[in-house]
Amino acid sequence: MMGGNENPGSLHWAGALRQRLSGGATTLCVLSLALCGHLCADPDPYAIMRTAIMSQGQVDYAAERVVTLSSKGRATRVIRQRVTRKRGDKQRIETRQPPSDAGCLVVSDGAILWEYNPHKGLVIRRQLEAPATRQAARARAAKLIKNGVRLQYKGRHTIAARTAHAIVIRDLSGALLRKYWIDAGTGGRLKIEKHDLSGAPYTRSEITAIDYSPGFTAATFAFRPPAGVTVSKAPPPAKRMSIAAAQKLAGFSAVIPQHPPPGYVFEADNAAVTKYLGQPTLWLTFSNGVTSFSLFETPSRENAQQRAANKGRSATQWCDHGICFTLVGDLRSVQVEDLIRRLKR
């Protein structure tokens, strides 16, 4: 013994042991942080959005939904509905409140969609696009979002007792477009907010209760117009084709903006020909994967510019060098003005 002092050899051994333990702890901490960084990182919002887009019309469920319509930041109308959907774009939407809309129905078997308003005694029958056409449109949208919009992941939330991914969607200029809360298990949209040009929500749709194992009957997605109501047939869906085929069918060349608003892409294989005032009209579609706008072009002898106020989804019309243009979509005024300027020939 050395006057109560510890053995120098023991001190050396103890120090080495402490150093090893400290180094091991540091290594373990680094590994833990690395593992957490891998496992705890936010999921890719683009992957979540692609799943949500492709799952549309392909998930079975029955739910209670509340739709709130707003104007200038204030709720103006609250609608309560029972929503039932089945794979293959089958659906049944029953409105329960307010009393002025109670009993209104939207029913589809995946091929024909019926809209029934018992208060007006009116039924509208719509033929839907073919399933392959609908899926192709979803696939295009899922592809376009990569370069068309900015997505921001905002964490996990609980909606209708389900875990949901919150996603904020902005255009490439930073303007707020949508907010989605997407079911982490199914890809279904449990809550949606659509924002106007000022950034204020004008529509909020939220699922308050949902069952992913509902029971369907033969009558769930069937509809027969009640006796005595007026049945109106909506125009059939436009046949989609390449821009080259559309121009040939219409008999004139389209004026295609070479620089649409940032993020928007001209869907060259999704053109159509319709009629306006008896004249063949080219229908061009532009999309960023989340929102879209349409440009209708009709031959005309008018050359003077004729424009209407652009509010929400209102139409903006003008004529230039033998073509009358009608622009429909959620574009900001500055985007509309820029597009008109670029389309001048």
Write down the domain spans for the chain.
46-233, 243-343
Is pLDDT of 81 > 80? yes
Average pLDDT, integer, range 106-122: 97
Cβ-based neighbours of 245, under 8 Å, separated by 6 or more: 271
- Rounded mean pLDDT of the chain? 87
pLDDT one-digit tens code per residue, 36-51: 544 568 899 999 999 9
**Is 52 in contact with 180 (CB distance < 8 Å)?**
yes
Mean pLDDT to the nearest integer, 299-327 = 70
Q: What is the mean pLDDT of residues 303-323?
A: 64
- pLDDT over threshold 90, residue 288: yes
Has residue 306 got a pLDDT over 60?
no
According to CATH, the topology of domain 46-233 is outer membrane lipoprotein receptor (LolB), chain A (2.50.20)
CATH topology of domain 243-343: Phosphorylase Kinase; domain 1 (3.30.200)
Q: pTM value?
A: 0.82
* 255/247 Cα distance (integer angstroms): 10
| Same-fold call for 46-233 versus 243-343 | no
Q: What is the pLDDT of residue 21?
A: 38
pLDDT at 27 over 90: no
Instruction: State the Cα–Cα distance between residues 261 and 136, nearest whole angstrom.
Output: 23
Q: pLDDT at position 6, please?
A: 41
Residue 14 one-letter amino acid? A
- Average pLDDT over every residue of 159-180: 96
Listed range (6-15, 17-26, 151-160, 209-218) with the worst mean pLDDT: 6-15
Amino acid at 188: G
What pLDDT does 39 receive?
Answer: 54
Instruction: Tell me which residue of 146, 186, 127 sits closest to 47, measured CA to CA.
Output: 146
pLDDT of residue 302: 63
Provide CB contacts within 8 A for 122, sequence distance 6+: 116, 229, 230, 232
Query: Is the confidence at residue 13, as pLDDT, over 50?
Result: no
Mean pLDDT, range 106-115, rounded to an integer:
98
The predicted model gives 78-93 an average pLDDT of 97
More confident residue, 26 or 239: 239
Least confident range from 88-97, 101-110, 236-245, 327-336: namely 327-336
- pLDDT tens track for 184-231: 999 999 999 999 877 888 999 999 999 999 999 989 999 999 999 999
Question: Which pLDDT score is estimated for 309?
Answer: 37
Quick one: pLDDT at residue 179?
Answer: 97
